């Protein structure tokens, strides 16, 4: 792991202190925690974090360098966005023990072309974006490739059990979970059915009384 990504961090004194002014100055408040690790607060540069996060995502270990202290092996555990600006407002780092197995989600990378799509006009359906794995940090993959070229017919499926990651990586997601398949193209009748709007009978909804026609109301008044 000689080419490990690196990110500099500055100690942060207290939670909730100087958050707005520091964010305006281009800093992101972060917290670091881990197994048997006391939480620590840091600031990281927003631009530098963006570069590292773009390359590492949440599945690649990188080095967090905090001042003169020893570099820490970390994963991005959570990223919070500001609902108004959509900018990163807070980051959680997880400190990794390189000698201890960890469990995390690894993104799936679908490659190739499905013959059932090309030849029969089918629709490719991807049911998962990631799977959970357990392994030593040194064996942690950045992503897992899924070759969809095996989907030759509408009956073919790719399941978790079809992933071959070797003995060093244990897949925690259920083995019979479907990852990808190809559905037949929709017919004109199917499209027409989708466009048809079902009308709900409001009289069947609790608390709603159907109005009687005006003529019926007048007749009832005359009888009285």
Domain with CATH 2.40.240.10 in the chain: 6-98
In degrees, rounded to 5, the angle at the alpha carbon of residue 29 between the alpha carbons of residues 28 and 30 is 110
Distances (CA, A) of 188 to 56, 117, 185, 198: 44, 18, 10, 18
Q: Where are the alpha helices (DSSP H) in 128-203?
A: 188-195
CA-nearest of 63, 78, 69, 73 to 31 is 78
Give the Cα separation of 68 and 180 in Å (integer).
48
**pLDDT (tens digit, 0 to 9) for every residue of the chain, 224 residues total?**
447 899 999 998 877 767 889 999 999 999 999 988 999 999 999 999 999 999 999 999 999 998 777 899 999 999 999 999 999 999 999 999 999 999 999 999 999 999 999 999 999 999 999 999 999 999 999 999 999 999 999 999 999 999 999 999 999 999 999 999 999 997 766 666 667 754 444 455 555 555 555 455 454 445 54
Strand partners, 81: 88
Domain with CATH 2.170.120.20 in the chain: 103-194
Give the Cα separation of 36 and 41 in Å (integer).
16
Classified by CATH at the fold level, domain 6-98 comes out as Ribosomal Protein L25; Chain P (2.40.240)
CATH superfamily of 103-194: Ribosomal protein L25, C-terminal domain (2.170.120.20)
Pairing of strands 130-135, 102-111: antiparallel
> What pTM value is reported for the model?
0.76
């Amino acid at each position: 792991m000689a080419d490990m990504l690196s990110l500099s961090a500055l100690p942060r004194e207290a939670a909730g202190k100087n958050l707005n002014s520091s964010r305006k100055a281009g800093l992101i408040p972060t917290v670091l925690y881990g197994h048997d690790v006391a939480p620590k607060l840091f600031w990281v540069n927003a631009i530098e974090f963006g570069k590292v996060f773009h390359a590492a995502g949440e599945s690649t270990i990188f080095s967090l360098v905090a001042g003169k202290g020893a570099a820490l092996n970390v994963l991005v555990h959570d990223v919070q966005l500001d609902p108004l600006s959509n900018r990163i407002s807070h980051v959680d780092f997880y400190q990794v023990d390189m000698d201890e197995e960890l469990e995390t989600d690894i993104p799936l990378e679908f490659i190739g072309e499905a013959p059932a799509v090309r030849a029969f006009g089918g629709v490719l359906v991807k049911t998962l974006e990631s799977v959970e794995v357990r392994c030593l940090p040194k064996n942690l993959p950045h992503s897992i490739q899924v070759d969809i070229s095996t989907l030759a017919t509408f009956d073919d499926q790719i399941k978790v059990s079809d992933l071959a990651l070797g003995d060093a990586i244990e897949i925690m997601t259920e083995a019979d979970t479907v990852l990808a398949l190809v559905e037949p193209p929709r017919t004109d009748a199917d499209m027409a059915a989708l466009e048809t709007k079902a009308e709900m009978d409001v009289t069947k909804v609790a608390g709603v009384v159907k109005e009687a026609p005006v003529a019926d109301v007048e007749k009832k008044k005359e009888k009285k």
